[in-house]
Structures are given as structure tokens and as C-alpha cells.
Structure 1
């Protein structure tokens, strides 16, 4: 998916978060959105995803050479962030069957196979609310990484992961980013080491407020 940004700006009250961003995120590219804590990385990511309206500027989307309306972007988007929740009242198996009704997995992948990829076979009948924070994060990452979606957004993807979990994330990120447009919001180099493109929010008039 291609995202073209022209003069993109966002402010809350009188405080500008970022201003005058002009950039094209090409299909098949991986870009790290960088900046210190509070600089507006998550706000920029949410604006690029169409979930927040910009204060100024324009966003246009296209996929396979055809324009995409902003209302259709969620159908083509996979998103993982610490502030996004999953349905914790379901078991892992129930959640995967429910989730994939709305966001299908990549061709040939089944919920059972995804459980195996997450190394959560012993927790398939466990309520998600009883998962550790690291297990929940691995679940959210897997749902995004293995979604059949050309646009992948990851916000602080290794939050709550231990060293084994970080290694899992990097292995599966490398395995799933080909031919997708990937944006990773982070200030931890390990999280975005596979991104050849870098975009620093502070270069576009960001303020330490969100």
C-alpha cells in the first residue's frame, strides 16, 4: 500500500505535535518513526492510519495502483500497539476464530497454526485475561504480523517482552514484512533494525506533548 502525505500537521489545542510533513511511504518499504518519548510518534502513526484526522494537510492512499478511500483503510491495515486491547473474556482459540472473521490471516494459515507459531499450544483453552503481559503482547503482534493486510503498523512492538519474546518478534517480523508497507514507531533500535528508512518526528516541528 502507498501512503502519500502532503503538508501533514496535527495539533491539540494550541500545541503543534508535528507540522508540514511531506513524504511518500512506498509499497514494500519499512520505515521507522523515531523520536523521544512524548514527541508524537504514536499520534503520527494514528494519523497515518486514518484513525485521527489531521489538523492540516492531505493524506492519500493507494493499493495495487488504485485509490483507497480513508474509510476503507482499516480493511487493509494491521495494527499492534500497547494501548490496543484484545477481547480477554474469550479463550485463545475462541479469540482467534472471532478475530479472523473480521481480519483474515495470511493465505494458508489457520488459527491452530498461529497458536503453534506463538508457542502457546498449552494455552489454547486458557482465557486471554489470564495471560501474562508478555503473552498478550505476543498475541497482539501475531495477529498483526500474520494478518492478510498490506499495511502493517507497529507501535513500540517489544513492550512487555523479555529477551526470548524480542527474539520471537524479530524472527517473525523478518518473515512477514516482504511486499508490505511497514511503519514502526519506536525509540528502541532493536525494534526497527529491519527498517532501512528512518523518519524523525522532531524534524517536523513536533512538540513534547500528546
Structure 2
């Protein structure tokens, strides 16, 4: 997946969140979106994903050498963020079978195998609403990391994870990032230290004051 941003900006009412971003995100690369809390990292990620419309500038998407319309981007991306909701009335097994109907897992990986990768075998028939916050975050991560998509977006991926969960994230993001376009919104180095490229929201966010 390739994404080209040209003069991208987003504002709410009269306040610019970021402005003047021109950058090309190349296939097979990993980029960290950095900045303090409240600087607009999540807004930028949501804009790049097509979930929010930009206020100015353009975004161009392509995959395997072909242009992709913004409305066709969702099947090509996997997204993990603390604010995304899970269907809590389902059990873990039910949720995985439902979710993978529209967001398939990587080839040869079954929902049951994914449960094993998450170390949640004893919770396969447990309702999601009864999961701890850490278990829910690990589930969100697994659904994104192991989705068969060329674009992976991670917003503060280790929120609610303890040390064991952090180690799990680092192991599995290293296993699944190669070959994909990966964007990580974070201000925690352990979440993005595998990313060779970095963008600071404050660098182009400063354009908003001009």
C-alpha cells in the first residue's frame, strides 16, 4: 500500500489540528507518528485512514501499482486503537468468527490458532464484556496484526497492557510488520522503536499558527 499526502490539513471549527503535511508513505515501510498527548496524532491517523475527511490538501492511495479510491481503503487496512469498541455480547470464539467474515486473517491462520497466539485458550467461551482491559487490548491488537491487509495502523497500541502484554506486542508486531505499510501513533518508544521513519506532529502542526 502506498499513501501520498500533499498539503494535508485538518481543523475543527476554526482550530487547526495539523496543517501542511506533505509526505509519501511507501509500501513495506514503518513510520512512527510522534507528538505529546493532544497534539493531533490520532486525528492524523484517522484522516490518513479515510475515516475523517481532510480540511485541505489531498490523499492518494495505491496498491500493487493501481490507484485505490478512499471508499475502497477499509478492506485493505487493519486498525487498532484503545477507543475502538468490541462487540461485548459475543464470546471470544463468536467474535473471531464474526470479525473474520469481513476482515480475513492471514492465510493458513484460523480463529482457533489466533486464540492460541493470544494465550487465551481458557477464555474462548468467555464473553468479551468479562475480559479485563488488557485482554481486550490484546484482542484488538491480534485482530489488526494478523489481518490479511497491506496497511496496518496502530494508535497507542500498548494502552492497558502490562509488562507481559508489552512483550507480547513487541514479539508479534515484529512478526507481522514486514511487507506492510505500518503507521504507529505513539509517544512511548517501546511501541515504535522498530520504525525506521518518524514524523512529529508538532513539526507540521506548527503550520497551523501561521
TM-score range, shorter chain: over 0.9
Superposition map of 1:50-129 within 5 A = 50-129=50-129
Unaligned runs of 5+ in 2: none
Q: 1:43 to 1:182 in 2, by over 3 A?
A: same
Deviation, structure 1 residue 205: 2.2
Secondary structure of the residue aligned to 1:32 is: strand
Secondary structure of the residue aligned to 1:79 is: strand
Q: Is 1:149 aligned to 2:161, yes or no?
A: no
Identify the residue that residue 137 of structure 2 maps to in structure 1: 137
Aligned length in residues? 208
Q: Say whether the 8 Å CA contact 1:30–1:195 is kept in structure 2.
A: yes
Q: Say whether the 8 Å CA contact 1:40–1:207 is kept in structure 2.
A: no
Identify the residue that residue 201 of structure 2 maps to in structure 1: 201
Q: TM-score, length-normalised on structure 2?
A: 0.98
Q: Is 1:187 aligned to 2:187, yes or no?
A: yes
Equivalent-residue separation in structure 2 for 1:205 and 1:62 (angstroms): 26
Q: Say whether the 8 Å CA contact 1:35–1:187 is kept in structure 2.
A: yes
Identify the residue that residue 172 of structure 2 maps to in structure 1: 172
Q: Say whether the 8 Å CA contact 1:40–1:206 is kept in structure 2.
A: no
Identify the residue that residue 160 of structure 1 maps to in structure 2: 160
Q: Say whether the 8 Å CA contact 1:17–1:207 is kept in structure 2.
A: no
Equivalent-residue separation in structure 2 for 1:59 and 1:3 (angstroms): 7
- Runs (4+) of structure 1 moved beyond 4 Å? none
Deviation, structure 1 residue 145: 0.1
